[in-house]
């Protein structure tokens, strides 16, 4: 095989995978921008290995990986891959139980097997081309040039409108170009968006005892009875009957993307305020201080603590939550001896820690608890509903402690998203309530979005 034929044979699988990845996208003047990552990867690998088939195979494998991940995400969550998903890649390997079950096993096993076989064959049988040092240097320089263009893609748009919607822009520019465009737009706007919402202390009434605030973020929580599933939630029902407000919570996503709901509830910022960072506010945006419930209450003399019996690094919370004003963040290490089910700390154990911290508080406390035990995958809808019943038991224990507390207590609970189950499709709303121990409500159900819940929390604490 001639050197030219060898090069074309190596480039072919990379191009095929790229064309498959961008299926449905327009073939126009932005085609080359979308192809730059493919070119950069192929040139860099060719310079390093001198094996075109190996270089093309690795680039093709990356394209197939992105395509499979995109299809799985669309099928499970009703949305495509976005530029912020790159920040979650390490979690696939660190916590595969939360990701890999949503990819069909034959696809996963077949892909890994085929990739390993192709890599072994290329290493064993493909001869290296005779590429001199100057040629290798030129390839690396060209790859670096491609990367530099990808880091500054806006100059190539020529006035073309960017919809700032992953689906529409991927169809217009191609998926890889869209990643680059969205990442750059978000980066250029991020500083101004943060500066528009600086942290500020809350102003609470001087003639009233500041209440504790217990904010319970409930994993995959949504009333199973809404989907025709049998589930007894006596504690939820009792609190809702006395709540300042209760009802539906519109959240920005189905089946996952907890951080979107979480950030909106904690900060009160809308999608418009966060721009493209709304796709994952914890990827970059919330890693520097912005206005939040924790900063507001901390400035008013509250102790602010987050309790989450899981990896503190998940979603980058180890960096985000301090930036959002939490003095303390108790992660998996604080629950090392706690009981577990399916390898996850039970909601009952988390509730017991909330009760203990509430009893030990010397002054007003903001306790933000993030449950994890109800996380998927689930055997079926009945399995998920059973976990909602366990969550309800935890809520009952926290409510009982609040009723016996000498200081008023506000309890707010909400579902971060619906479960990624067929029975739960057709909407993104979950359930929420806000209850105060010294001020029974009992009003009719209402509907809020996540930013609206933030405002309701501030009003409940202020009295």
Mean pLDDT for the stretch of residues 91-105: 83
**121 pLDDT more than 80:** no
Q: pLDDT digit string (tens) for 12-29?
A: 999 999 999 999 899 899
Q: pLDDT digit string (tens) for 159-213?
A: 899 999 999 999 999 999 999 999 999 999 999 999 999 999 998 888 889 999 9
Exposed/middle/buried for residue 129 (C-beta within 10 Å: 0-12, 13-18, 19+): middle
Which residues does 237 contact at the CB level (< 8 Å), separation at least 6?
none
Domains observed in the chain: 3-193 (no CATH), 212-462 (3.40.720.10)
Identify whether the C-beta of residue 204 lies closer than 8 Å to the C-beta of residue 408.
Answer: no
Buried b (16+ CB within 10 A) or exposed e, 413-441: bbbbbbbbbebbeeebbbbbbbbbbeeeb
DSSP conformation class of 249: E
Q: pTM for this one? A: 0.93
Identify the pLDDT of residue 159: 87
DSSP conformation class of 128: P
Higher pLDDT, 158 or 140: 140
Mean pLDDT for the stretch of residues 58-69: 93
**109 pLDDT more than 70:** no
Distance from C-alpha of 306 to C-alpha of 296, rounded to nearest angstrom = 15
Bridge-partner residues for 414, per DSSP? 217, 432
Which residues does 252 contact at the CB level (< 8 Å), separation at least 6?
260, 261, 264, 271, 278, 428, 450
Which H or E run contains 214? strand 212-218
Identify the pLDDT of residue 199: 97
Higher pLDDT, 431 or 158: 431
Mean pLDDT, rounded, of the chain: 94
Indicate the pLDDT class of residue 4, thresholds 50, 70 and 90: confident
Identify the pLDDT of residue 108: 65
* Tokens 């994952």 -> residue: 280
Which H or E run contains 65? helix 52-77
Whose CA is closest to 455, among 434, 429, 436?
Answer: 434
List of E strands, 399-462: 409-415, 429-436, 446-449
Q: pLDDT digit string (tens) for 236-262?
A: 999 999 999 999 999 999 999 999 999
């Amino acid at each position: 095989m001639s050197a030219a034929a060898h090069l074309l044979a190596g480039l072919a699988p990379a191009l095929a995978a790229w064309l498959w990845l961008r299926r449905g996208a327009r073939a126009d003047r932005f085609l080359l921008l979308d192809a730059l990552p493919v070119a950069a990867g192929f040139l860099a690998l060719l310079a390093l290995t001198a094996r075109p088939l190996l270089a093309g195979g690795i680039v093709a494998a990356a394209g197939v990986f992105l395509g499979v991940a995109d299809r799985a995400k669309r099928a499970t969550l009703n949305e495509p891959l976005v530029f912020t998903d790159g920040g979650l890649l390490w979690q696939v390997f660190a916590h595969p139980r939360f990701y890999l079950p949503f990819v069909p096993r034959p696809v996963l096993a077949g892909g890994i097997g085929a990739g390993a076989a192709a890599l072994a064959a290329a290493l064993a049988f493909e001869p290296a081309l005779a590429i001199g040092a100057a040629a290798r240097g030129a390839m690396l320089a060209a790859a670096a040039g491609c990367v530099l263009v990808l880091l500054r893609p806006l100059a190539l748009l020529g006035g073309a409108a960017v919809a700032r919607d992953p689906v529409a822009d991927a169809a217009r520019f191609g998926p890889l170009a869209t990643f680059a465009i969205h990442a750059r737009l978000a980066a250029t706007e991020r500083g101004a968006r943060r500066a528009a919402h600086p942290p500020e202390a809350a102003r609470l009434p001087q003639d009233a005892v500041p209440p504790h605030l217990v904010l319970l973020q409930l994993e995959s929580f949504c009333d199973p009875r809404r989907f025709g599933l049998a589930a007894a939630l006596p504690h939820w029902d009792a609190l809702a009957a006395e709540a300042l407000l209760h009802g539906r919570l519109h959240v920005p996503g189905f089946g996952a993307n907890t951080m979107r709901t979480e950030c909106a509830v904690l900060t009160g910022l809308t999608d418009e305020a966060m721009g493209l960072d709304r796709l994952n506010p914890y990827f970059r945006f919330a890693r520097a201080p912005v206005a939040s419930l924790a900063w507001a209450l901390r400035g008013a003399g509250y102790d602010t603590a987050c309790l989450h019996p899981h990896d503190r690094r998940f979603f980058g919370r180890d960096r985000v939550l301090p930036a959002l004003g939490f003095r303390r963040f108790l992660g998996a290490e604080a629950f090392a001896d706690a009981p577990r089910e399916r390898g996850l700390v039970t909601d009952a154990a988390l509730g017991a820690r909330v009760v203990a911290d509430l009893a030990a508080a010397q002054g007003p406390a903001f306790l933000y608890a993030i449950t994890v035990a109800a996380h998927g995958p689930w055997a079926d809808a009945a399995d998920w509903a059973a976990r909602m019943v366990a969550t309800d038991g935890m809520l009952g224990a926290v409510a009982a402690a609040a009723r016996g507390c000498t200081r008023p207590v506000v309890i707010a609970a909400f579902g971060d998203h619906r479960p990624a189950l067929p029975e739960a499709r057709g909407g993104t709303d979950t359930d929420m309530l806000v209850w105060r121990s010294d001020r029974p409500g009992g009003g009719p159900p209402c509907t809020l979005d996540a930013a609206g819940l933030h405002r309701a929390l501030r009003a409940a604490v202020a009295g």
